[in-house]
Amino acid sequence: MTIRIAMWSGPRNISTAMMRSFGSRPDCAVSDEPFYGAYLNDTGFDHPMAEAIIADMDCDWMSVARTLNGDPADGRAIWYQKHMPSEMVGSVGIHDLNNHRHAFLIRDPGRMIASYAKKMEVVSFEDMGLERLNLYFQMEADRLGHAPPVVEGADILDAPGPMLERLCNALDIPWDPNMMKWEPGPRDTDGVWASHWYGRVEESTGFEGNDRGAIDLPDEYRALADRCRPHYEALKAHRLTL
């Protein structure tokens, strides 16, 4: 039986590197933001490459959910799905992903906003998705009767092996050292938006650098970061540590 992992995060985290990491496991299939096309089709938001994304993807909310609740086409034992709560504006939500093991990836909102602002002209509270990320965490905690796994990107960059092993244990899957490294370049499993967003990841071969330095946040986004911070702090209180 396939183990389906839904990893929820805001943008400009290490979410694509995490997808690379899980995709390096021979037992794991990956999916890249499968609801993005439906989100853009419904909202009409002017995201980079929006027309190409809509044309390339299944834009029917229920159809996407049915696919994700099935088995991966290649029959692998684990299916890692990268999701953005900011995209979940349609007729489905976390409760429609049956029999998934849900996990949550967080980053300081000031860092997220500073990075996102380099790619987008306008940054909104909704773009960060932290309110819904926190809501989904609470919904899953209520369903389970305990907190689901939360990991901070900075902690993974500090100690990739130990933190990934800790995450695998929390997800009740075997730890695989293959998760530490990957080949550079694009993947067939990347969304068509990769050419706009994934340049740094495509050059990488593993988890690189750190996320502990000073934050270069434009003054006009400080109030937005402050608005996001309570949701981030609520999630951070439950993060996995070594």
Q: What is the per-residue pLDDT across 69-128, written as a single tens digit (0 to 9) for each?
A: 999 989 999 999 999 999 999 999 999 998 999 999 999 999 999 999 988 988 999 999
**Residue 121, pLDDT score:** 84
Identify the domain containing residue 178 by its residue range: 3-236
In a domain, 241, yes or no: no
pLDDT over 90 for what percent of the chain?
96
Query: Looking at the predicted structure, is the pLDDT value of residue 136 above 90?
Result: yes
CA distances 81 to 19, 63, 71, 174, Å, are 8, 16, 12, 17
Q: Which pTM does this prediction carry?
A: 0.97
Per-residue tokens: 184: 């550079």
Stretch 132-147: mean pLDDT: 98
Mean pLDDT of the chain: 96
pLDDT of residue 1: 84
How many independent structural domains does the chain possess?
Answer: 1
Number of helices and strands in the chain (H, E): 12, 5
- Domain presence at residue 242: no
pLDDT of residue 98: 85
Is 108 domain-assigned? yes
pLDDT (0 to 100) of residue 162: 98
Residue 199 lies in a domain: yes
Q: What is the pLDDT of residues 24-38, one digit of tens each?
A: 999 999 999 999 999
- When pLDDT is averaged across residues 51-70 and rounded to a whole number, the result is 98
Q: Which pLDDT value is given to residue 195?
A: 92
Average confidence (pLDDT) over 32-49 = 96
CA distance 8 to 136: 9
* Nearest in space to 200 (alpha carbons), one of 119, 87, 124, 113: 119
**pLDDT tens track for 185-222:** 999 999 999 999 999 999 999 999 999 999 989 999 99
**Which CATH number characterizes residue 77's domain?**
3.40.50.300
